[in-house]
């Protein structure tokens, strides 16, 4: 990694930005932290698994069909190229951090060469629309995903460029991007699946080539005018029902909506378009005010992988797609940089530690596509979109390589900077080495977060800076201590304007007791229930942790008894022990009087992100409150 490898999302110096990202190279995550285990697992297990699956599922061969190196039928989804591109992006970020990974380097080089060979003379690159449907090129944009795939190719190129690996991908992506500009700069066409917008802005940031930004801005504003064939699911599914500047509610396919919003923020900050940024903020209030799961996930409906009505947040039928969670993380990062609003960091922390972290198995090689908050006794887990356990791959394999690229670049999302100092947004043990206003700064962070709430920061710098520590939204502020004293955060941060020149250590204590979380009364699906949380982690109860003979559906909680945190082993997860009851009587499906007597039991809850790592079985985040409350 070079001295200053920008991470994903690197606004130009001219962009509107309350905060700026640190280079990916500035932050090192401690190996023995939770993040450290995630990063290592991603490098050692998930990324090689993705590479292997790209071959097994035919995604590489699809491209080799273009070059004549493979024959047979096109395999799996028509947008399978994007799985290759996302894995390439992941490889580039990973190589920035572990440049000596020869196998990964070989994958990157070989695949880049394959893409170059598969690229048309005019720059076009899409295996499906070259091999299977050449006559339909650019002609069925509502479903073709051609610009979506191009967007992921461009993002791979942006990563390769910033990481200083794989110049060939950059060449390929620019040739394709130039063709796209030629084709779309004056056309009234958009793609059914957003992604190209944010990719083009990032390519503009890398290249300084203004037409990329202009096209991104054009595509953002063309959307919402009914240009797309609405086909099965209607215009809102494609966010084509209302122009973004007029929209007041997130709607339709969740991943599309959230990818679009990432691009909207990118365009807004680079073009100084306050109205566009205000639209994104308005939609953020809608999404996070009434359409977000406790785990940070989005998407309430399986039918069209879509947002639901306000407060329609069924735990059992949560679609909560992994890619939507990743998209939310990426959108919130852009919003945080643009506005400095701490709530965006809160949402990043929530979705990362729950919906995103929970989608990958402990082995790093099995993944959820959909991340429900409740798996019922008797659940038929035979559907790919609602399985009862993580699968090693999917016919629509968008999620696993998306996880790989996020995890490979995760250190780039932890810390922000401005002219006066640094902001610690997401807590993990590790080191930060950067410069502020030209002066070198080094910060060592020692913490067992999120298992432990103590964060010790030792700051070494020659010049005075302001160190801002985020006080998470989940935190009862009155219980926070800094060096043992109460704090008074301003706008969600404790801002320390100190003389750090003497190598000073500060100790932040975030209260880490088990919490009872209650839902908004309009969320019908979890009325009469509470959830358990500790720090940024949401907890869940699994059948596997219940006494023999107790069915999860019959378990009740007594929220008046505080949950007790503890660890079974020194380096195991912190679990919560909870008091409650178990229903003893059965009853009719409907009746005038329903017996709901419970016998007392005690049971254990574990972090949601660890669910489903034992034998498949029922799980629930929201636990009904015992009738006696």
Q: Indicate which single residue of 317, 334, 344, 366 sits in contact with its own copies (rule: CB under 8 A).
A: 317
Residue number, 94 or 290, with CB nearest to its own copies: 290
Q: Catalytic residue, from 197, 270, 305, 542: name it.
A: 305
Q: Considering the complex, what minimum distance in angstroms separates the CB of residue 286 from its own copies?
A: 10
Quick note: the x/- pattern for its own copies over 600-629, rule CB under 8 A, is ----------------------x-x-----
Tokens of 592: 């005038």
Cα dihedral 316, 318, 323, 325, rounded to 10, equals -100
CA-closest candidate to residue 89, choices 11, 175, 203: 203
Residues 21-60 that bind its own copies (CB under 8 A): none
CB environment 445-467: b (16+ within 10 A), e (fewer): bbbbbbbebebebbbebeeebbb
Q: Between the CA of residue 593 and those of 485, 589, 596, 628, what are the distances in Å?
A: 53, 11, 9, 16
Q: Catalytic residue, from 50, 149, 323, 398: name it.
A: 398
Kindly report the backbone phi and psi dihedral angles of residue 76, in degrees, each rounded to the nearest multiple of 5, phi listed first.
Answer: 60, -150
Q: Indicate which single residue of 316, 431, 479, 545 sits in contact with its own copies (rule: CB under 8 A).
A: 316
Strand pairing class (374-375; 27-29):
unpaired
Neighbours of 484 (CB within 10 A): 7
- Cβ–Cβ under 8 Å, residues 55 and 49: no
Residue number, 33 or 332, with CB nearest to its own copies: 332
**Strands of 321-411, DSSP E:** 374-375
Contact call for residue 250 and its own copies (CB under 8 A)? no
Q: Indicate which single residue of 594, 600, 602, 628 sits in contact with its own copies (rule: CB under 8 A).
A: 594
Contact call for residue 314 and its own copies (CB under 8 A)? yes
Helices (H), 208-247: 210-222
Quick note: the x/- pattern for its own copies over 374-413, rule CB under 8 A, is x-xxxxx-xx-x----------------------------
Q: Quote the CA–CA distance of 213 and 159 in Å, as a whole number.
A: 18
Q: How many residues does the chain have?
A: 629
- Cβ–Cβ under 8 Å, residues 203 and 154: yes
Please report where in the chains the tokens 């099995």 appear, as a residue: 366
Q: Quote the CA–CA distance of 523 and 424 in Å, as a whole number.
A: 33
Angle between helix 81-97 and helix 47-56 axes, rounded to 10 deg: 150
What DSSP element (H or E) covers 465? strand 465-470
Is residue 398 flagged as an active site residue?
A: yes
Pick the piece of the chain touching its own copies (CB under 8 A) from 19-27, 191-199, 217-225, 305-313: 305-313
Residues 472-531 that bind its own copies (CB under 8 A): 476, 515-529, 531
Q: Indicate which single residue of 587, 599, 615, 628 sits in contact with its own copies (rule: CB under 8 A).
A: 587
Q: Considering the complex, what minimum distance in angstroms separates the CB of residue 310 from its own copies?
A: 4
Pick the piece of the chain touching its own copies (CB under 8 A) from 71-79, 161-169, 283-291, 408-416: 283-291
Q: Considering the complex, what minimum distance in angstroms separates the CB of residue 549 from its own copies?
A: 16
Residue number, 501 or 584, with CB nearest to its own copies: 584
What DSSP element (H or E) covers 343? helix 342-351
Q: Considering the complex, what minimum distance in angstroms separates the CB of residue 291 from its own copies?
A: 9
Q: Considering the complex, what minimum distance in angstroms separates the CB of residue 438 from its own copies?
A: 42
# chain residues binding its own copies, by CB under 8 A: 63
Q: Quote the CA–CA distance of 258 and 328 in Å, as a whole number.
A: 6
215 pairs with which residues across the strands? none
Contact call for residue 324 and its own copies (CB under 8 A)? no
Contact call for residue 246 and its own copies (CB under 8 A)? no
- Cβ–Cβ under 8 Å, residues 320 and 299: yes
Residue number, 223 or 556, with CB nearest to its own copies: 556
Pick the piece of the chain touching its own copies (CB under 8 A) from 111-119, 138-146, 282-290, 461-469: 282-290
**Strands of 347-397, DSSP E:** 374-375
Is residue 312 flagged as an active site residue?
A: no
Q: Considering the complex, what minimum distance in angstroms separates the CB of residue 553 from its own copies?
A: 5
Pick the piece of the chain touching its own copies (CB under 8 A) from 43-51, 216-224, 355-363, 583-591: 583-591
- Cβ–Cβ under 8 Å, residues 218 and 184: yes
Sign for the CA dihedral angle at 150, 156, 158, 160 comes to negative
Pick the piece of the chain touching its own copies (CB under 8 A) from 10-18, 68-76, 151-159, 286-294: 286-294
Q: Considering the complex, what minimum distance in angstroms separates the CB of residue 231 from its own copies?
A: 12
Residue numbers annotated as active site = 305, 398
Positions touching its own copies (CB under 8 A) are 233-234, 236, 241, 249, 251, 288-290, 292, 294, 301-303, 308-312, 314-317, 374, 376-380, 382-383, 385, 476, 515-529, 531, 553-554, 583, 587-594, 596, 622, 624
């Amino acid at each position: 990694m070079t001295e200053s490898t920008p991470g994903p999302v690197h606004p130009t110096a001219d962009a509107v930005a309350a905060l700026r990202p640190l280079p990916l190279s500035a932050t090192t995550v401690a190996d023995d932290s939770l993040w450290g285990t995630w990063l290592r697992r991603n490098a050692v297990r998930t990324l090689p698994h993705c590479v292997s699956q790209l071959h097994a599922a035919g995604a590489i061969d699809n491209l080799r069909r273009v070059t004549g190196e493979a024959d047979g039928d096109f395999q799996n989804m028509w947008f399978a190229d994007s799985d290759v591109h996302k894995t390439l992006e992941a490889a580039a970020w990973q190589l920035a951090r572990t440049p000596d990974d020869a196998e990964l380097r070989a994958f990157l080089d070989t695949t880049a060469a394959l893409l170059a060979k598969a690229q048309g003379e005019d720059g076009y690159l899409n295996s499906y629309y070259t091999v299977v449907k050449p006559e339909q090129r650019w002609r069925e944009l509502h479903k073709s995903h051609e610009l979506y795939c191009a967007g992921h190719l461009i993002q791979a190129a942006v990563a390769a460029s910033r990481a200083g690996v794989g110049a060939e991908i950059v060449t390929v992506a620019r040739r394709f991007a130039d063709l796209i500009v030629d084709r779309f700069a004056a056309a009234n066409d958009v793609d059914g699946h957003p992604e190209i917008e944010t990719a083009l802005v990032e390519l503009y940031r890398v290249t300084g080539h203004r037409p990329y930004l202009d096209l991104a801005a054009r595509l953002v504003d063309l959307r919402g005018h009914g240009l797309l064939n609405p086909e099965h699911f209607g215009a809102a599914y494609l966010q084509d029902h209302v122009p973004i500047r007029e929209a007041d509610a997130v709607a339709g396919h969740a991943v599309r909506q959230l990818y679009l919003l990432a691009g909207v923020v990118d365009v807004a900050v680079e073009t100084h378009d306050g109205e566009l940024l205000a639209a994104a903020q308005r939609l953020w209030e809608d999404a996070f005010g009434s359409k977000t799961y406790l785990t940070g996930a989005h998407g309430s409906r399986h039918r069209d992988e879509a947002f639901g009505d306000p407060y329609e947040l069924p735990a059992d039928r949560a679609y909560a797609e992994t890619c939507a969670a990743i998209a939310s993380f990426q959108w919130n990062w852009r919003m945080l940089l643009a506005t400095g609003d701490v709530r965006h960091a809160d949402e990043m922390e929530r979705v990362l530690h729950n919906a995103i972290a929970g989608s990958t198995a402990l082995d790093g090689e099995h993944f959820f596509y959909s991340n429900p908050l409740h798996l019922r006794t008797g659940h038929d887990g035979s559907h790919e979109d609602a399985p009862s356990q993580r699968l090693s791959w999917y016919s629509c394999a968008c999620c696993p390589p998306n996880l790989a690229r996020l995890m490979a670049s995760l250190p780039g999302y932890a810390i922000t900077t401005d002219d006066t100092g640094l902001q610690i947004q997401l807590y993990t043990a590790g080191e930060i080495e950067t410069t502020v206003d030209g002066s070198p700064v080094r910060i060592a962070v020692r913490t067992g977060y999120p298992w432990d709430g103590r964060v010790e920061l030792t700051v070494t710098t020659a010049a005075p800076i302001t160190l801002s520590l985020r006080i998470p939204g989940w935190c009862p502020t009155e219980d926070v201590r800094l060096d043992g004293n109460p704090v008074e955060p301003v706008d969600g941060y404790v801002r320390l304007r100190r003389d750090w020149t003497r190598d000073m250590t500060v100790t932040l204590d975030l209260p880490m007791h088990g919490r009872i979380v209650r839902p908004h009364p309009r969320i019908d699906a979890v009325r009469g229930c509470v959830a358990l949380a500790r720090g940024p982690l949401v907890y869940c109860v699994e059948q596997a942790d219940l006494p023999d003979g107790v069915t999860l559906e019959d378990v009740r909680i007594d929220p008046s008894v505080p949950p007790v945190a503890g660890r079974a082993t020194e380096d195991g997860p912190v679990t919560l022990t909870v008091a409650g009851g178990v229903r003893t009587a059965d009853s009719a499906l409907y009746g005038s009087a329903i017996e709901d007597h419970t016998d007392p039991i005690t049971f254990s809850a574990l972090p949601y992100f660890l669910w489903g790592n034992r034998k498949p079985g029922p799980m629930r985040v929201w636990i009904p409150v015992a009738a006696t409350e």
